[in-house]
Structure 1
Amino acid sequence: MLEFIERVLGAFCNWECLHDAFCLLNAFALQHIHNFIKAPRRLFHLFGKFHVNSTYAVYLAKQQKHNIKYLVSIISENPDSYMFHTANIGLASVQAKVMNIPVIIKETRGEKEKELLDLEAAIKEAAQKHSISGIVCGAIASKYQRSRVDKIAKKLGLVSLTPLWHKDPETLLRDMLRAGFRIIITAVSAEGFGQSWLGRIIDEQTIQDLLELNKKHGVHISGEGGEYETLVLDCPLFAKSIKITESDVWWQGNSGRLMIKDVVLEDKTAD
């Protein structure tokens, strides 16, 4: 008995072993638990941060055979929102289109803590209308964001999955590149960045430069602290790639944004 329980608990502590845990519980006929936490194959994803981390979290969830049924995009009026990225957030619908996943879009005034009520309402709507059993969140190191998403999930009886949590940010970026992600930087807001970073493709040299900024200024390599924001132009999840055809640059001090005004979708070329 003790060995069985240890196997179950160990599986629950490992993202990659979630399915094994559900199988073990089912085999042991703990039906009252199984009915509550049966394998969360029908999930929706919090896309409100609109960062490469969010898209990569979807990618990993699908790799683990989870069924991503909906994306949720929260559009904040506050450019300095504590919970949500805001640069070019309107393009969330474009990304949802090329992923062929429906997106639920909600607006918020972006007031600290109060914006969580808007997030909760969006999640509750998705869970009730679409039989969703869990949430995928792209948080890496932000306890503020993860704890609040976890709290909402618990309140609504949903499973909260964070496949990137506490992963090494340098390794994550390289894993994304190896997986075929094409990523650009769309906003910066930290010492050490210059206007030339806007629109820059993340490649090996960019990673090396981010490592230097981390050493000199404490910049989080994955931009988890809001130091920079990104847009995924292409990845294995996309049926078509995104091409920016018109944009402007806004810059003030050591902060700026690439304001994307228009994009087109292009057929993907075979490697």
Structure 2
Amino acid sequence: EAMGLPLIKKVTEGKPEEELKDLETAIAQAVKGFKIEGVVTGAVESAYQSKRIQTICNRLNISCFSPLWKKNQKALLEELVAQGFKVIISGVFAYPLDGSWLGKEIDNELIERLSLLGKKFGLSVSGEGGEIETTVLDAPLFKKKIEILDSAVETKGNSGVFIIKRARLAPK
């Protein structure tokens, strides 16, 4: 909605093969309803994720484009910051990350910290291995930005999620 484009929502239980069927159903709905000709992924390093989406696209006879594939992860994050993206960490799932990272905006200082942890602990700087999840609150192509009005943090050990309870679209 922030981009001024239609949004298709599909709930999934998160079971590996079921979520794939759910994703295919949602993409098929977009193909039929909006006449899309392809999918652009944000895959950087995960052959597992890339292959799964490519397989769906092949079955639906649409293109799959992964412009970030094998790019330097630190450089990609730095480019997002330089281009004016506002991205927060909304999930942490690997040691030594913990709840203190949740809700933090990705900036150059945070990228440097992630890079150092990546070198020391083998983490993917961009979270490609599932170490972190992110939420985009603003981007150059957004017509409106997302403002968080109410949120909560839930943690268990070193894992945690930043839950957006209420948000609104706001003028830029």
The TM-score range, normalised by the shorter chain, is over 0.9
What is the Cα deviation at residue 138 of structure 1? 1.1
| Cα offsets for 1:153-199 (capped at 9, x unmatched) | 11221111111111110010011111110111111111111322111
Q: Residues 155 and 174 (structure 1 numbering): CA distance in 2 closer, same or farther, change over 3 Å?
A: same
Separation in 2 of the partners of 1:171 and 1:147?
A: 24
| Cα offsets for 1:69-113 (capped at 9, x unmatched) | xxxxxxxxxxxxxxxxxxxxxxxxxxxx11000011112222112
Matched, 1:152 2:17: no
| Cα offsets for 1:208-241 (capped at 9, x unmatched) | 1001110121110000111111111111111222
Q: Report the counterpart of residue 73 of structure 1 in structure 2.
A: none
Separation in 1 of the partners of 2:112 and 2:61?
A: 42
TM-score scaled by length of structure 2: 0.94
Matches within 5 A, 1:92-103: 97-103=1-7
Q: Report the counterpart of residue 154 of structure 2 in structure 1.
A: 250
TM-score scaled by length of structure 1: 0.61
Separation in 2 of the partners of 1:100 and 1:129?
A: 16
Q: Report the counterpart of residue 106 of structure 1 in structure 2.
A: 10
Larger Rg, first or second structure (1 or 2): 1
Separation in 1 of the partners of 2:143 and 2:7?
A: 16
Q: How many residues align?
A: 172
What is the Cα deviation at residue 128 of structure 1? 2.6
Q: Which runs of 5 or more residues in structure 1 are unaligned?
A: 1-96
Matches within 5 A, 1:194-213: 194-213=98-117
Separation in 2 of the partners of 1:238 and 1:131?
A: 22
Q: Residues 266 and 130 (structure 1 numbering): CA distance in 2 closer, same or farther, change over 3 Å?
A: closer
Q: Report the counterpart of residue 233 of structure 1 in structure 2.
A: 137
Structure with the larger helix share: 1
Percent identity at matched positions?
45
Matches within 5 A, 1:61-72: none
Separation in 2 of the partners of 1:202 and 1:232?
A: 10
What is the Cα deviation at residue 250 of structure 1? 0.7
Separation in 2 of the partners of 1:242 and 1:129?
A: 26
- Please give the root-mean-square deviation of Cα atoms over the aligned residues, in Å: 1.3
What is the Cα deviation at residue 120 of structure 1? 1.4
For residue 216 of structure 1, what is the amino acid of its counterpart? K
Q: Which runs of 5 or more residues in structure 2 are unaligned?
A: none
Separation in 2 of the partners of 1:102 and 1:224?
A: 27
Greater length-normalized contact order (CA 8 Å, ≥ 6 residues apart): 2
